[in-house]
Amino acid sequence: MTAWLATHLVAAALLPPLSLVLLLVAGLVIQRRHRRLSLSLILFSTAALYALSTPWVGGALLKSLEISGPVSQAQLQAADAIVVLGGGRRFAEAEYGGDTLNSLSLERLRYAALLHRSSGLPLLVTGGTPGRGTLSEGRIMQHILQAEYGLSASWIEDASSTTWENARFSAPMLKQAGVQRIVLVSHAWHLQRAVPLFEAQGLSVIPAGIQFSSTRVDSILDLVPTPAGLRDSTFALHEWLGILWYKLRSIVA
């Protein structure tokens, strides 16, 4: 078992929905011997699953991670390069004849292309082959930039498996080219974890987030459980778990 797989299995057990399913199963198993504890576990897991599945709670959790607003043109003018972080791949897609980017990566890449066109800043794409697959995220992003946007990436980092490695492996490429200040493109909820990792490598970072969240209740549907609501809550809790893990690791180191 690889370290990447072990880490993701532990994370899956700690995050919804699996963590709540485990609590519910535990409550059912001890129902005869510990009625009060069993009822508490069942009620808690059910209520938590309901709440975390609502778009309002998911949006509020994602909002708690945001560290900036949209990047401005003035900030772009002060930067030396744009770095876009990979967000995952889809494997062996029949319609594409192989590996391709998932929706998260495509959203980030599209925004990076927009920023590049408005600023002229060179692009670095970063992402390896975590888990499985044949093509790295970095190489797939390079291909899509060229084939679909008519743009070229100045640097391709294709060995990383984590956000920490994205920063660690990208920084030497950038510094060798004289880059000191970067525009870091990712989802707004990911940047609280990603920015310090690049800053720890000696780079000055301007966060360039996409998909900013809302905490408003605009409709009764915002309080109705949906798959998208649970997805957003899971994204947010995964980020907070990752932030905690990196802080603990820095303390131990």
* Lowest-pLDDT choice from 32-36, 62-66, 107-111, 139-143: 32-36
Alpha-carbon distance 46 to 121, whole Å? 49
CA–CA distance, 234 with 20 (Å, rounded to integer) = 12
ω into residue 225 within 30 of 0, thus cis?
Answer: no
Q: How far apart are CA 37 and CA 87, in angstroms?
A: 40
**pLDDT value of position 64:** 98
Share of the chain above pLDDT 70, in %: 98
Q: What is the pLDDT of residues 39-65, one digit of tens each?
A: 999 999 999 999 999 999 999 999 999
Among residues of the chain, what percentage have pLDDT more than 90?
Answer: 89
Averaged pLDDT of the chain: 95
Which of left, alpha, beta for 120 (phi over 0: left; psi -120 to 50: alpha)?
A: left
Give residue 27's pLDDT: 96
8 Å CB contact between 107 and 86: no
**Domains of the chain and CATH, by start:** 3-64+220-252 (no CATH), 73-210 (3.40.50.620)
Q: Output the pTM of the full model.
A: 0.94
Q: What's the confidence (pLDDT) of residue 168? A: 97
pLDDT band of 155, cuts 50, 70, 90: very high
Residue 10 pLDDT: 85
Handedness of CA 144, 149, 154, 160 (dihedral sign): negative
User: Phi, psi at residue 141, to the nearest 5°?
Assistant: -65, -40
The pLDDT of residue 4 is 67
Look at residue 251 and tell me whether its pLDDT is greater than 80: no
Q: Please state, in angstroms and rounded to a whole number, the distance separating the CA atoms of residues 188 and 68.
A: 8
Give the mean model confidence (pLDDT) for residues 201-208. Answer: 98
Nearest one of 67, 61, 69, 58 to 192, comparing CA atoms: 67
Q: What is the mean pLDDT of residues 204-228?
A: 96
Residue type, 166: N
Residue 253: is its pLDDT beyond 90?
A: no
The residue ranges of DSSP E strands in 5-157, in sequence order, are 81-85, 89-93, 98-101, 123-126, 155-157
